[in-house]
Structure 1
């Protein structure tokens, strides 16, 4: 089990630093945001599983020769209130760290989703009171606000696309169709669930810079995915113009908070400039073979810690 614990530690270190740093600075995700998003999710899941699995494997070394024997032995010793004679303080510390980290991540995930659902429910109630439907656009509500604002409001049974009066005055008919198609793509593809998962990761480990980098990268990818859906409705230049017009005044972060667009294209919350550039000069999509390699890599990342733990 020592070999397994060491292998899991190596995987955890790679997925906690070099791999996400490389992915967040690479150019190819803009060419195929769907497969890049799958890879980001695999990195997060496999990294967490490897980290917890490594701590657990090291902590169980005094209890058995493999993971399952070690867990059975640990449970037995917990009931009897004893420990194996060769149990070190380090092993106990590792077991405690695995339990605390796993519980912290799961509880934070549950709390993030529960808090978001409460906020969405309250927001939907307010929108129902303070908005009116947009004619000829089912599920679209208009609020009386001078700033150009557009966002989607997800719900289990009732979702809405919310637009401001200022947005309707700013955009022409085609640009408005592009914005509505973009926001509806967020709702149809359930992007809020992916964003909440990465928001939970970042809030659970605020001292972990990779979590913040991952959340920003994923936020940009889901915007690109929604853009690709809107491109089926209008041409690229119309969509790019609509994005630039709205973003130049005010940007609504799809994670649920209003974020002012910062100066400079490299600001982590700049979800406008990279998308406009991508629409004006569309990159060549990844070849099918390359996309399959990325998808296979994502699957392998998920399988690797699982196999290591089962073979421990």
Structure 2
């Protein structure tokens, strides 16, 4: 079991550092965002399970020779008697670390989901109070605000929110492209994918790969929504809509536009980005526009 534990540890290390970095720097994900998104999910799941598995196998290794039934000696020994002589402090620490890490990740996922759901409910309530239905567009509401904004709210009753500023800025085809983009987020449940990576980043804020993964996945779901939208309108129309909204803000780093609101699962709607996020947001929009024009 020590050999198996070592193999899992090597896999965990590879999935925690070199593999995510290579994927984040690769150029092919923009061409096939669906496959890249699936690969990011596989990396996150396999990385976590291999890390916990390596610790568990190492901790249980002294019990293998005694037979599977005698693994219960660990539990009984912790409370009422001495552990087998082959069991050292390092094995107990490994088992404890595996349990704590697994519990931490699961509890963080649960709390992130609860906070996101509460935030969505509050936002739904505010949207109902501050907006009006859009005639001829079921599930779409209009905010009386000059800033060009479009985002979607998932849940039992999904809603796509537009601002009057957006409607005034875009023509009919461009607005249809934006709505198609937002409907894709809702139909493909992108908020659930983003929730998992937001929870991962929240659970391991000191781990730079978690933040890199969250940003990469956020961009990939936008690309997926763009790909669906351009089945209804041409790519140039969608690219123009993205560029118009970005330029209308003056600095795209100051707002979430055209579908980025679902990324902020703990925040009620499109909120200003932090100063250090500006270049990243601008770069993401630029990448989306470039791939649409190159299609």
The TM-score with structure 1 as length reference comes to 0.85
Corresponding position of 2:164: 165
Corresponding position of 1:100: 100
Distance 1:70 1:276 in 2: 61
- Comparing 186-195 and 138-147, the one that deviates more: 138-147
1 or 2 for the larger relative contact order (CA 8 Å, sep ≥6)?
A: 1
Question: Could you tell me how far 1:56 is from its partner in structure 2?
Answer: 1.1
Distance 1:21 1:68, change over 3 A: farther
Question: Could you tell me how far 1:28 is from its partner in structure 2?
Answer: 0.3
Distance 1:187 1:81, change over 3 A: farther
Unaligned runs of 5+ in 1: 283-312
Corresponding position of 1:251: 256
Residue number among 287, 290, 294 corresponding to 1:274 in the alignment: 287
Question: 1:229 and 2:228 equivalent?
Answer: yes
- Which residues of 2 match residues 99-138 of structure 1 at below 5 A? 99-138=99-138
Preserved CA contact (<8 Å) 1:104 1:204? yes
Preserved CA contact (<8 Å) 1:55 1:94? yes
Distance 1:199 1:218 in 2: 10
Preserved CA contact (<8 Å) 1:220 1:271? yes
Unaligned runs of 5+ in 2: 250-254
Distance 1:68 1:193, change over 3 A: farther
Distance 1:19 1:202 in 2: 17
Question: Could you tell me how far 1:68 is from its partner in structure 2?
Answer: 5.5
Distance 2:228 2:274 in 1: 23
Preserved CA contact (<8 Å) 1:60 1:70? no
- Which residues of 2 match residues 160-309 of structure 1 at below 5 A? 160-248=159-247, 249=249, 250-252=255-257, 253=260, 254-256=262-264, 257=267, 258-260=271-273, 267=280, 270-282=283-295
Distance 2:122 2:95 in 1: 41
**How many residues are matched?**
281
